[in-house]
Chains A and B, each alone.
Chain A
């Protein structure tokens, strides 16, 4: 089983829909992240959770709402999205406090807004 699992892999939704992206990490890490990757801005940090607490919100519009019920699961709730929100959404996890550990990434959810 891969370390960081994201579902769904692909999602097509209309601008009025509500959907959620899910991320689960099986590595025992204490920090989780959401990134947006698009052609115009290759990799943008959206949110950071450290021990289930949100420690970073990188000026993300409120139509994106993260949820971290425990240190292994992270959700990104989507509503009233815009066409420019179409992108690859990557989840990552890491062990904070261990200086030689990189982030581990999931395979991403490819989101298309109609």
Chain B
């Protein structure tokens, strides 16, 4: 059974700081996704990572994938308040997505 672990589960950081969220998974995967969820809202796709060494960037967020280590990272650069949300990674295997527990990020002024 595929297991997906995110850490940290809760992250409080100051504006302007950098931080990384980690996503570990237990078995070989076809692809990995990062999603964002704002309170009371649905999940919004951020990144799709398909191959070893894949790196994608959008604004202050950058995601990477190391399939050999079964690890993906979501790096936040110079955080701003608008990035406060819960971030989920999801890993595909045999046509099914398994989600991590999510990392709730709070960016404080």
A and B, one complex? yes
Q: Which residues of A pack against B, CB within 8 Å?
A: 42-43, 45, 48, 50, 55-56, 90, 92, 96, 99-108
Chain B residues with CB under 8 A of A90? 42-43
Q: Is the CB of B95 within 8 A of A45?
A: no
Which B residues have a C-beta under 8 Å from some C-beta of A?
30-31, 33, 35, 41-45, 48, 50, 88, 90, 95-99, 101-102
Compute the total of residue contacts between A and B using a CB distance below 8 Å.
Answer: 46
CA distance A86 to B41 in the complex (A): 17
Question: How many angstroms between the C-alpha atoms of A26 and B50 in the bound complex?
Answer: 26
Majority SS at the chain A contact face: loop
Are A42 and B95 interface neighbours, CB within 8 A? no
Residues of A close to B98: CB separation below 8 A: 45
Q: Are A102 and B96 in contact (CB under 8 A)?
A: no
Closest residue on chain A to residue B34 by CB atoms: A102
Contact of A104 among B30, B45, B50, B88 (CB under 8 A): B45
> Which residue from chain B places its CB closest to the CB of A31 in the assembled complex?
B95
Contact at A103–B101, with CB atoms within 8 Å?
no
Cβ of A105 and Cβ of B43 under 8 Å apart?
A: yes
CA distance A61 to B95 in the complex (A): 22
The answer for the CA separation of A49 and B98 in the assembled complex, in Å, is: 16
Known A-B contacts A90-B43, A104-B45, A106-B42; A42 and B99 likewise in contact (beta carbons under 8 Å) = yes
On whether A96 and B50 interact (CB within 8 A), knowing A42-B102, A43-B88, A105-B43, the answer reads no
Q: How far is the CB of A114 from chain B (nearest CB, A)?
A: 21
